[in-house]
Structure 1
Amino acid sequence: MLPLLLASSSVYRRDLLARLRLPFSCSSPDIDESHRPGESAVELVKRLSLQKARALATLHPEHLIIGSDQVAALNGQIIGKPHTFDKARQQLLDASGASVTFLTGLTLLNSQTGHYQTDCVPFTVHMRTLTPKQVERYLLAEEPYDCAGSFKAEGLGVSLFQRTEGDDATSLVGLPLIRLVDMLLAEGVAIP
Structure 2
Amino acid sequence: MLPLLLASSSPYRRELLARLRLPFVCSSPEIDESHRADESAIELVQRLAEEKARALANDYPDHLIIGSDQVAVLDGRILGKPHTFERALEQLTAASGRSVSFLTGLALLNSATGECQVDHVAFTVHMRILDPARIERYLRADEPYDCAGSFKAEGLGVSLFRATEGSDATSLIGLPLIRLVDMLGNEGIIVP
Structure-1 separation of matches of 2:104 and 2:29: 17
Residue 58 of structure 1 aligns to a residue in which SS? Answer: coil
Residue identity opposite 1:88 in structure 2? A
Secondary structure of residue in 2 paired with 1:179: helix
Task: Tell me the equivalent position of 2:119.
Answer: 119
TM-score by length of 1: 0.99
Dislocated runs of 4+, deviation >4 Å: none
Does residue 172 (structure 1) correspond to residue 172 (structure 2)? The answer is yes
For residue 116 of structure 1, report the CA deviation from its aligned partner.
Answer: 1.1
Determine helix, strand or coil for the equivalent of 2:13: helix
Q: Which residue of the partner structure matches residue 157 of structure 1?
A: 157
CA-to-partner distance for each residue in 1:114-162, whole Å, 9 max, x for gaps?
A: 1111001000000000100110111111111111111000111000000
TM-score by length of 2: 0.99
Q: How many residues get paired? A: 192
Aligned position for 1:132: 132
1:14 alignment counterpart: 14
CA RMSD of aligned residues (A): 0.6
Per-residue CA deviations over 1:142-189 (Å, capped at 9, x if unaligned) read: 111111111000111000000001000000000000000000011001
Residue type of the partner of 2:104? T
Residue 190 of structure 1: how far off its partner (Å): 2.5
% identical equivalent positions: 74
Runs of 5+ consecutive residues of structure 2 not aligned to the other structure:
none
Aligned-partner Cα distance in 2 for 1:31–1:80: 16
Map residues 47-126 of structure 1 onto 2, 5 A cutoff: 47-126=47-126
Equivalent in the alignment of 1:184: 184
Report if the CA contact (8 A) 2:2-2:62 is conserved. Answer: yes
Which residue matches 2:27?
A: 27
CA distance in 1, matches of 2:7, 2:38: 26
